[in-house]
Amino acid sequence: MTQYDIAVIGGGNAALCAAMTAAESGAKVLILETAPKAYRGGNSRHTRNFRCMHTGPLGPLVETYSEDEYFEDLLKVTKGKTNETLARLAIRTSEACLPWMQDHGVRFQPSLSGTLSLGRTNAFFMGGGKSLVNAYYRTADKLGVDVLYEAAVTHLELSENAVQWVDYTHEGKSHRITPKAVVVASGGFQADTDWLTRAWGPAAQNFLIRGTPYNRGIVLADLLEQGVSQVGDADQCHAVAIDGRAPKYDGGIVTRLDCVPFSIVVNKNAERFYDEGEDVWPKRYAIWGRLVAAQPDQVGHVVIDSKSIDLFMPSVFPPLKADTLEELAALMDIDGAKLKDTVETFNAACGDTSDFHPTELDGVATSGLSPAKTNWARPITDPPFYGYSLRTGVTFTYLGLKVDENAQCSTDTGPIKNLWAAGETMAGSILGQGYLAGYGMTIGTVFGRIAGREAAAYAN
Amino acid sequence: MQTDLVQEARRQAEICNACRYCEGYCSVFPALHANRAFTDGDIAQLANLCHNCRGCYYACQYTAPHEFDLNLPAALAEVRRDSWESYAWPQPMARRFHTHGAAIVTALVVGFALLFAAIKMIGSAGGEGFYAALSHNAMVAIFAPAFLLPLASLGIGLRRYWRDVGGIGIRMSHLTKAFGRAAKMKDLAAGHGDGCNFEDEDRFSQGRRHVHQAIMYGFLLCFASTSTATVMHYVFDMPAPYPLLSLPKLLGVVGGIVLTLGCIGMIMLKRKSDPTLGDAKAWGGDMAFVALLGFVGFSGLALYALGASTAMPVLLAIHLGAVLTFFLLTPFTKMAHGFYRLAALIRDAQRVS
Ligand SMILES: Cc1cc2nc3c(=O)[nH]c(=O)nc-3n(C[C@H](O)[C@H](O)[C@H](O)COP(=O)(O)OP(=O)(O)OC[C@H]3O[C@@H](n4cnc5c(N)ncnc54)[C@H](O)[C@@H]3O)c2cc1C
Ligand code: SF4
Ligand code: SF4
């Protein structure tokens, strides 16, 4: 068997960036990916863009996006829970990443029509994250990187602040290899419902996992048990409200629902619980995951009427549809009289709707209602009525490995000589909470490349 | 159209409409995103805009074994073929060839036989060159209807298509746009210009675009050769045979070579490609059709080369038999796709303008 200089654990964006970088420095690299080939690429296969700083037009990106503006955008969502040194390092390096990505086969989309106007801050992958992952596997192959699919890493043996060996299973057998250096890029632990349940309580049983079922945090847990420094809280995760009919895993982007601002959302008792019109949807997308998680049975029901059905992106599953609110309530399995009552109370609190504007904060608000709806508050009166059920969809978890500027892991007694980490599995080192669209791929690309560089420098 | 095929394509289109990751690959997606719900006509239009580059398959995070089971290239290919069959006229011919390569071969043999019989029974009436084997008038009597009837048949099919996809009055600007896109086969390059995912999974390559361009331009050159010969015959009273340095021969030889090589290239690429990402049922029919087209080119070249030898009458019967079969089958084989694709591009130009 080939003696590898570096083992990279994981097969997503961060792993591939590390593997390509290390191979380009002359190291012999093996990627151990637990998923079969059809599902390779973890959560990265579900992504669509990369947030990138730029001091002038760059690739598909227009105008400029400065380091400070990027950093401030980040601070807003993390409410200050940010490691400034590492965050700025990621931001600054992102500019050089974009041409590097192109050189390694990624194709960007010139400009985007239908979706959010992120043409200045985020570069979109043509074909989405799976096409990025495919391109990277092709490039890695050309660079001589070996890839083993269905290779589940079970244990890294740590002693004297060095990884001594790596155990993995493949085709039903256990294997042990002794690479000189190891890069961990195996994501978070969100697909392990038991772990989520320990952190969140029983509510987590009802969570859906938006991405890969393979990120179960096995390597993360193994390293934390051996005293590798950890960062972040187990109950911190990025979660959004998605269509309740989504599959348990891997539903990805299509399960999102953009209709909340034009709706009222009730819980299983047919009561409203939060201001649906607080802000434009992209900015409120993420908080609804937690809001729904806090409701009984972790479910929310969106109610809209025919006035609003064309105002948002089409949903992957058709909405529930009924001519009366009672019938809609029956489809949602909630109390019809109660729902009717909630809607009538809401309707009575609506005022002048002549300023209604679907894409701007229009100030069309309810009065004397608690909780208020502060924008887009139009009475729900015109049948047919439509509904969706909402569930909490977990994107990723934050608890992870603590790294330094070189992406190197450590224990209480100092750095681990030959262990680096990149991507989701160390994202908590940068963000304590909150999330900025496109920053996950930035972290993975920046720290993947750093980890690859450092590991190769050590191994050579 | 077959409701199950249309329904499957609709199911997938609805998923794509919520996803939109493939927006940049081709003209299918912008057209798709312009709708919230899809009529059968919308699906037929999307299907005819798709050229099966497979970019959206390899990029899709929802392909099998995922439960969403996306395979848009295959779903659209099946609807596309079904649309040609459903719109075709006369209907008894519609479903006999696309999915039956053997039927094409049989038709070819019948074509040979007809021409042999014609040569035997009608003969030369004392002409020169090829006309020594079959008189010019006899050729015209056979090929004028064999050319015009299929065109009329296609016209009827296209009208049905146009009605279903909600086409409106055609303006010059629609045509320039559509022909411009067809001439460069812009979509075959994919949005980023690196080509299709065809012969080697997710690797982008211009291979398919190039062989397809060779087939199209080779065919058009051969067609131009015949057309100039017709003009020379009737307008300038310059009947065949023509010397090598004449317009019909130059166009014909170059066209024949390009067409033959293009068809060989296409067959090789198709053999490497994954049949489950296309219309698997039509695989044999498509292959037989490409082989027929290549054979038309090749037999024409052979005829040029050996036209002065004693093999000429046999070669003439074989070549003309192939041409006859090809013409007559045009509305019922893959050849129809060129016409429908053009119609779809014109319709798409109307949507955008
Ligand atoms: C639906 C969705 C959309 C998203 N969209 C965006 C976006 O547009 N932009 C953005 O920046 N971020 C987005 N994100 C977040 C983004 O996916 C992550 O930040 C990023 O992909 C993390 O990359 P990674 O390489 O660290 O992890 P992953 O891509 O998840 O890769 C982890 C890899 O490790 C493997 N693995 C796990 N355990 C083991 C083991 N024991 N042994 C071997 N291998 C193992 C997995 O199979 C996988 O290949 C999105 C996430 C989701 C779920
Ligand atoms: S083919 Fe797949 S990735 Fe592409 S738009 Fe459709 S669902 Fe999305
Ligand atoms: S196969 Fe190619 S042409 Fe057809 S829809 Fe997909 S990307 Fe577009």
pLDDT of residue A116: 47
For B224-271, what is each residue's pLDDT tens digit? 999 999 899 888 988 888 888 899 999 999 999 999 999 999 999 999
* A38 in a structural domain: yes
The domain boundary, picked from A368, A393, A418, lies at A393
Shortest distance, CA B181 to any CA of chain A (angstroms):
19
> Is the distance from the beta carbon of residue B291 to the nearest atom of ligand 2 less than 6 Å?
no
Please give the tally of structural domains in chain A. Answer: 2
Q: Where are the beta strands (DSSP E) in A254-406?
A: 264-266, 300-305, 320-322, 385-397, 400-401
| Residues A320 and A361 placed together within one structural domain of the fold | yes
Which residues are paired to A321 by β-bridges?
A386
The domain boundary, picked from A365, A393, A421, lies at A393
- Distant-in-sequence, close-in-space partners of B48: CB < 8 Å, separation ≥ 6: B80, B83, B161, B337, B340, B341, B343, B344
> Is the distance from the beta carbon of residue B25 to the nearest atom of ligand 3 less than 6 Å?
yes
Interface probe with B: pick from A48, A245, A254, A388, most Cβ of B within 10 Å: A254
Write down the pTM of the prediction.
Answer: 0.95
pLDDT exceeds cutoff 80 at B293: yes
CB atoms within 10 A of CB B89: 17
Percent of chain A with pLDDT over 90: 90
Is A235 or A347 the better-scoring residue by pLDDT? A347
Return the ligand 1 atom nearest residue A32 CA: 43
Q: Which domain holds residue A124?
A: 6-234+398-459
Of residues A457, A459, A444, A455, the one with CA closest to residue A10? A444
Specify the DSSP class assigned to residue A337: H
Query: Predicted confidence band at A114 (pLDDT cuts at 50, 70, 90)?
Result: very low
| Residues A51 and A199 placed together within one structural domain of the fold | yes
Interface probe with A: pick from B61, B67, B69, most Cβ of A within 10 Å: B61
> Is the distance from the beta carbon of residue A251 to the nearest atom of ligand 2 less than 6 Å?
no
Which helix (H) or strand (E) segment is A156 a member of?
A: strand A151-159
CB atoms within 10 A of CB A21: 24
- Residues of chain B contacting residue A130, judged by C-beta atoms under 8 Å apart: 58-61
CA distances (Å), origin A432, targets A386, A421, A458, B284 = 37, 17, 30, 58
Shortest distance, CA A122 to any CA of chain B (angstroms):
14
> Is the distance from the beta carbon of residue B56 to the nearest atom of ligand 3 less than 6 Å?
yes
B15 and A254 within 8 Å at the Cβ level: the answer is yes
Of residues B55, B121, B44, the one with CA closest to residue B83? B44
For A25-50, what is each residue's pLDDT tens digit? 999 999 999 999 999 999 999 999 99
Mean of the per-residue pLDDT values of chain A: 95
Interface probe with B: pick from A39, A106, A115, A131, most Cβ of B within 10 Å: A131
Structure tokens at A374: 């502060």
- Residues of chain A contacting residue B12, judged by C-beta atoms under 8 Å apart: none
pLDDT of residue B188: 63
pLDDT of residue A115: 47
Contact predicate A394/A237, CB 8 Å: yes
> Is the distance from the beta carbon of residue B9 to the nearest atom of ligand 2 less than 6 Å?
no
* A54 in a structural domain: yes
Phi and psi torsions of A74, nearest 5°: -70, -45
A127 and B63 within 8 Å at the Cβ level: the answer is no
Shortest distance, CA A107 to any CA of chain B (angstroms):
7
pLDDT exceeds cutoff 90 at A110: no
CB atoms within 10 A of CB A194: 11
**Residues whose beta carbon lies within 6 Å of some atom of ligand 1:** A 9-15, 32-35, 41-44, 46-50, 152-153, 185-187, 210-212, 214-215, 218-219, 252-253, 395-396, 423-425, 438-441, 444
Q: What does the alpha-carbon distance between residue A80 and residue A87 come to, in Å, rounded to a whole number? A: 11
* A1 in a structural domain: no
pLDDT of residue B245: 86
| Residues A268 and A346 placed together within one structural domain of the fold | yes
| Residues A366 and A454 placed together within one structural domain of the fold | no
User: Tell me, what CATH number does A359's domain have?
Assistant: 3.90.700.10
pLDDT exceeds cutoff 70 at B289: yes
Query: Predicted confidence band at A111 (pLDDT cuts at 50, 70, 90)?
Result: low
Return the CA Rg of chain B: 21
Q: What is the 3-state secondary structure (H, E, C) of chain B?
A: CCHHHHHHHHHHHHHHHHHCCCCCCCCHHHHHHCCCCCCHHHHHHHHHHCCCCCHHHHCCCCCCCCCCCCCHHHHHHHHHHHHHHHHCCCHHHHCCCCCCHHHHHHHHHHHHHHHHHHHHHCCCCCCCHHHHCCCHHHHHHHHHHHHHHHHHHHHHHHHHHHHHCCCCCCCHHHHHHHHHHHHHCHHHHCCCCCCEECCCCCCEECHHHHHHHHHHHHHHHHHHHHHHHHHHHHCCCCCCCCCCCCHHHHHHHHHHHHHHHHHHHHHHHHHHCCHHHCCHHHHHHHHHHHHHHHHHHHHHHHHHHHCCCCCHHHHHHHHHHHHHHHHHHHHHCCCHHHHHHHHHHHHHHHHHC
Three-state DSSP class for residue A146: strand
**Average pLDDT of A364-375?**
96
Contact predicate A408/A454, CB 8 Å: yes
> Is the distance from the beta carbon of residue B16 to the nearest atom of ligand 2 less than 6 Å?
yes
Nearest CA in chain B to A111: B24
CA distances (Å), origin A118, targets A60, A112, A290 = 11, 8, 25
Query: Predicted confidence band at A117 (pLDDT cuts at 50, 70, 90)?
Result: low
* A42 in a structural domain: yes
Shortest distance, CA B205 to any CA of chain A (angstroms):
13
Which helix (H) or strand (E) segment is A421 a member of?
A: strand A414-421
Three-state DSSP class for residue A281: helix
Q: How many helices (H) and strands (E) does chain A have?
A: 11, 19
A114 and B23 within 8 Å at the Cβ level: the answer is yes
Query: Predicted confidence band at B190 (pLDDT cuts at 50, 70, 90)?
Result: low
**Average pLDDT of B299-308?**
92
> Is the distance from the beta carbon of residue B301 to the nearest atom of ligand 3 less than 6 Å?
no
* A25 in a structural domain: yes
Q: What does the alpha-carbon distance between residue A248 and residue B21 come to, in Å, rounded to a whole number? A: 21
| Residues A386 and A455 placed together within one structural domain of the fold | no
**Average pLDDT of A127-152?**
98
For A128-138, what is each residue's pLDDT tens digit? 999 999 999 99
* A298 in a structural domain: yes
Of residues A426, A454, A458, A459, the one with CA closest to residue A90? A426
Q: What does the alpha-carbon distance between residue A315 and residue A89 come to, in Å, rounded to a whole number? A: 38
CA dihedral A430, A50, A12, B18 (to 10 degrees): 120
Shortest distance, CA A346 to any CA of chain B (angstroms):
29
For A294-312, what is each residue's pLDDT tens digit? 999 999 999 999 999 999 9
| Residues A352 and A309 placed together within one structural domain of the fold | yes
| Residues A60 and A165 placed together within one structural domain of the fold | yes
Phi and psi torsions of A259, nearest 5°: -95, -10
Q: Which of A242, A441, A449 to mutate to test the pocket of ligand 1 (most atoms within 8 A of CB)?
A: A441
* A429 in a structural domain: yes
| Residues A210 and A171 placed together within one structural domain of the fold | yes
* A256 in a structural domain: yes
> Is the distance from the beta carbon of residue B98 to the nearest atom of ligand 3 less than 6 Å?
no
Q: Which of A39, A209, A214 to mutate to test the pocket of ligand 1 (most atoms within 8 A of CB)?
A: A214
**Average pLDDT of B160-179?**
94
pLDDT of residue A416: 98
CA B4 to ligand 2 centroid distance, Å: 21
pLDDT of residue B120: 85
CA B62 to ligand 2 centroid distance, Å: 7
Q: Is the peptide bond before A384 cis (omega within 30 degrees of 0)?
A: yes
A129 and B56 within 8 Å at the Cβ level: the answer is no
If you count them, how many residues does chain A have?
A: 460
| Residues A453 and A425 placed together within one structural domain of the fold | yes
| Residues A266 and A227 placed together within one structural domain of the fold | no
| Residues A328 and A427 placed together within one structural domain of the fold | no
User: Tell me, what CATH number does A165's domain have?
Assistant: 3.50.50.60
> Is the distance from the beta carbon of residue B62 to the nearest atom of ligand 2 less than 6 Å?
yes
The domain boundary, picked from A341, A365, A393, lies at A393
| Residues A227 and A259 placed together within one structural domain of the fold | no
- Residues of chain A contacting residue B69, judged by C-beta atoms under 8 Å apart: none
If you count them, how many residues does chain B have?
A: 353
